[in-house]
Structure 1
Amino acid sequence: MDITTKMLRIEDVAKKLNVSQKSVRRYIHAGKIKSNKIGGVHRVEESELQYFLNLSIYENGREVKYEPVIPKSTKNDIVNWIDISDEWENVKSNNFTSADLFCGAGGMAKGFEMAGFNQVAGLDWFKEAGMTYRQNFQHPLIEGDITSSEIKKKFIDTVKKQLKRKDLTVLSGGFPCQGFSMSGSRIVEDPRNSLYKDMLDIIKDLQPQFIVAENVKGLRSMLKGKVEDKIKKDIRALGYEVNVTVLNSADYYVPQKRERIIFIANRTGNKNFHPSPLIEEGSYVTTKEAIEDLIKVKDNKEINHVRTKHKDEMKKRLAAVPEGKSLYDNYSDSWKKCPWNEASCTIKENHGGVNIHPIEPRVITVREMARLQSFPDEFIFKGSKAKQMVQIGNAVPPLMAKAIALGIKKAIEKK
């Protein structure tokens, strides 16, 4: 490459095309705009941009469509992938409804709201998460133990009241899965799994058109895949067709590599669509892009941006941790330093151990943590700082939830 060649940043290309940076990344992903990686960041030659402009003009000035890239599956999943890129930035309003079990602070609810769905109710027992949920949403939250018949009935009655005799479009829930074990060749459930069975009871009563169930990727390997098979069997027994695969949140503009198993089911005869990735790994939103500006922002409790005060010795130790590595050998999933020019590693709160900032010798703030989970800045978390971090670490990234919701929307529209 000639050193005199002018190289454009993603933001420069976006301004020249009068589109968002997300659109530019999609064009690069699709191979419509050729780019070079310099220091881990995409750069576009002016001649390549002009070529793209000529191509766009030749195709009547419309955005160039691309064939979505299908991720490599971790199993031989039967998946119906759907391109959601046409609605990603211009979501159309709709009359679809959604409700959320084990809703936490509301990551799933926020994502469905971003996709134009009308959230009608949430349910969770976590007091501080409830405080956050009520701060950011107008619809009802039922706070309490789902195993209580009283709480379960209250949630069901609230949803039905909100729907005014209409069907619930989607019921979602990130159910706990630790209560499965084996007895001989048979899967059995211990008392810890009552939460999962309570979810099935609520599905049976509300009869939502679609179900979305989210869980950690590790569920796939539990009891050599038998747990996943049982969950699919249980859902089918309620009259639903189900498809399942693993999604990576970074594929949907979340600045974080976070893989989750996603079950999608329906009882209406529609296809179950999982959203095709919007960007490829080389174009992921980086930690730097997500939180660099917050380095210059002073501590502000109102926006959840308060730096942890570390002793000088701890600062030295944090600064010495390589990117992608942990401060402690026996805690590989916590105290891990986020990579700066890549999507972050999975954001967690693990017994007080949170992710280390790549540039400053400290752990990341609640607001930085929220940014890496794709929560908008106006989404404010309540409770103590420690409880706020637990809420964020447990949340479904809103942008991944948005992608799932848009896939369901297209499934209904294609019926």
Structure 2
Amino acid sequence: MGKLRGLSLFANVGVAEAYFEELGIDICIANEIDFDRARFYQDIYKNTNMICGDITDDAVRDKIIKESIEKNVDFIIATPPCQGMSEAGLRLEFDPRNQLVTYAIDVIKHIKPKFVLLENVPKQLTTKIKYGDRIVLIPEYIKAELGQEYNFNKETLVMAKDYGVPQLRERNIFLLVRKDLPYIWEFPKKQKEITLREAIGDLPSLDPYLREGMNLTLTKFPQFEEKRKAALEVSKWHYPPTHSWKQVEWMMHTPTGKSAIYNEKFYPQKADGTPIKAHHNHYRRLKWDMPCRTITQNNGVISSLACVHPGRPYKNACGDILYSDARVLTIYELLIVMSLPLNWPIPEWATETFIRKVIGEGIPSRLVREIMNSLLIQL
């Protein structure tokens, strides 16, 4: 069998596909509804035909199907939006986004590829959707629609940390092989975990840039420029994130692996001193000696879920113990914990907020590479 010829549905910016060319997988066609994401994808994967449009639109879906058949697509990767099911989301019952998987299944049934990778959050296993006049679990729906034509993998829950990715990130992934083929597609053997210390511990320390301006930044962090220059020698993407002084001060008093909400004095508070109500994983520093917690789309905000650099203890002039790197991970550090290639050609026009969001919504690249390779070695 020659190169796999693929279709990527709900393609985002192609985080999952980062190693496909290296593996010999040719993604011929991709579909993404958002113009900026489609543009980002096309800038990186110039040989892919990006169809920007809404897959729920019959005309768009017909175009995807027609061109995929013409290009002899034999592999489909589909990653429908997970926000309706994510632990970090509102999880509304019958969120319309949860129904988007049905359009992916429709495409699969028309193209009849040899192999399919369907990815989503673990909550997909217990999420219900409308199926005709019935309410069914998503896995039940998928198997009812495709079970006659495809064999499924036995275990579907997978942790990115088990496949060389320095991040926890649990996912539910269905691996489908058409029944007329002799292959068995399961997850490969687990690999050694990589801690955050092993992944980013050797990178230069960085002080945050304070939203209040450079004067206050240099007053609070006299070594700011020196550190910034040293970091930029590593990568242009290893630059200081911007935060407000009040949040930075709270995190400077927060130990590695702890949340600022438990600080006795420097805790998240309103202007009048009233404590800010927060989840125990908000305003939390990551831990050095375990993989990074799951990266979310809101990874640039200190108050979001466990996204602050672990930091290192030091003493100030008064002898107080503080913690360095009172900031979120840089984009360069995100590339590492998402296992993206460090030379991944991020378009210059993309804003930091946009880059962080689309990376946070992606599947760790190395996880997909290892899963795909477990199939390719059979072919």
TM above 0.5: yes
* Cα distance change, pair 285–351 in 1 and its aligned pair in 2 (3 A): closer
Is the contact made by 2:299 and 2:356 (CA closer than 8 Å) also made in structure 1? no
Match for residue 334 of structure 2?
369
Structure 2 residue 315 is matched with structure 1 residue 350: no
Q: Within 5 A, what are the aligned runs for 1:24-173? A: 95-138=3-46, 139-161=48-70, 163=71, 166=72, 168-173=73-78
Letter in 2 for 1:169: D
Letter in 1 for 2:196: T
* SS of structure 2 residue aligned to 1:295: coil
Question: In the aligned structure 2, how far is the partner of 1:377 from the partner of 1:178?
Answer: 27
Is the contact made by 1:253 and 1:285 (CA closer than 8 Å) also made in structure 2? yes
Query: CA deviation digits over 1:375-415, x for unaligned, max 9?
Result: 1111133422111111011001110000111122234x3xx
Greater RCO structure (CA 8 Å; 6+ sep): 1
* Cα distance change, pair 357–393 in 1 and its aligned pair in 2 (3 A): same
Match for residue 238 of structure 2?
305
* SS of structure 2 residue aligned to 1:279: coil
Is the contact made by 2:239 and 2:330 (CA closer than 8 Å) also made in structure 1? yes
* SS of structure 2 residue aligned to 1:213: strand
Q: CA RMSD of the aligned region, Å?
A: 3.0
Question: In the aligned structure 2, how far is the partner of 1:286 from the partner of 1:146?
Answer: 39
Question: In the aligned structure 2, how far is the partner of 1:376 from the partner of 1:207?
Answer: 31
My pick for the range that moved more, 388-397 or 135-144, is 135-144
Shift in Å at residue 189 of structure 1? Answer: 6.6
* SS of structure 1 residue aligned to 2:156: strand
Sequence identity, in percent? 25
Question: In the aligned structure 2, how far is the partner of 1:225 from the partner of 1:204?
Answer: 19
Query: CA deviation digits over 1:248-279, x for unaligned, max 9?
Result: 11111111111101101121333432232342
Match for residue 278 of structure 2?
330
* SS of structure 2 residue aligned to 1:361: coil
Structure 2 residue 251 is matched with structure 1 residue 318: yes
Letter in 2 for 1:365: T
Shift in Å at residue 348 of structure 1? Answer: 1.1
Structure 1 length normalisation: TM-score?
Answer: 0.65
Unaligned runs of 5+ in 1: 1-92, 181-187
Match for residue 167 of structure 2?
256
* Cα distance change, pair 233–112 in 1 and its aligned pair in 2 (3 A): farther
Letter in 2 for 1:107: V
Shift in Å at residue 115 of structure 1? Answer: 2.5
Is the contact made by 1:299 and 1:307 (CA closer than 8 Å) also made in structure 2? no
Shift in Å at residue 294 of structure 1? Answer: 3.8
* Cα distance change, pair 292–298 in 1 and its aligned pair in 2 (3 A): same
Is the contact made by 1:111 and 1:405 (CA closer than 8 Å) also made in structure 2? no
* SS of structure 1 residue aligned to 2:372: helix
Is the contact made by 2:257 and 2:310 (CA closer than 8 Å) also made in structure 1? no
* Cα distance change, pair 322–158 in 1 and its aligned pair in 2 (3 A): farther
Letter in 2 for 1:358: P
Is the contact made by 2:75 and 2:116 (CA closer than 8 Å) also made in structure 1? yes
Is the contact made by 1:98 and 1:112 (CA closer than 8 Å) also made in structure 2? no
Corresponding pairs, count = 305
Shift in Å at residue 121 of structure 1? Answer: 1.7
Question: In the aligned structure 2, how far is the partner of 1:394 from the partner of 1:285?
Answer: 21
Shift in Å at residue 351 of structure 1? Answer: 8.2
Is the contact made by 1:111 and 1:400 (CA closer than 8 Å) also made in structure 2? no
* SS of structure 2 residue aligned to 1:123: strand
Question: In the aligned structure 2, how far is the partner of 1:169 from the partner of 1:109?
Answer: 16
* Cα distance change, pair 233–370 in 1 and its aligned pair in 2 (3 A): same
Structure 2 residue 118 is matched with structure 1 residue 213: yes
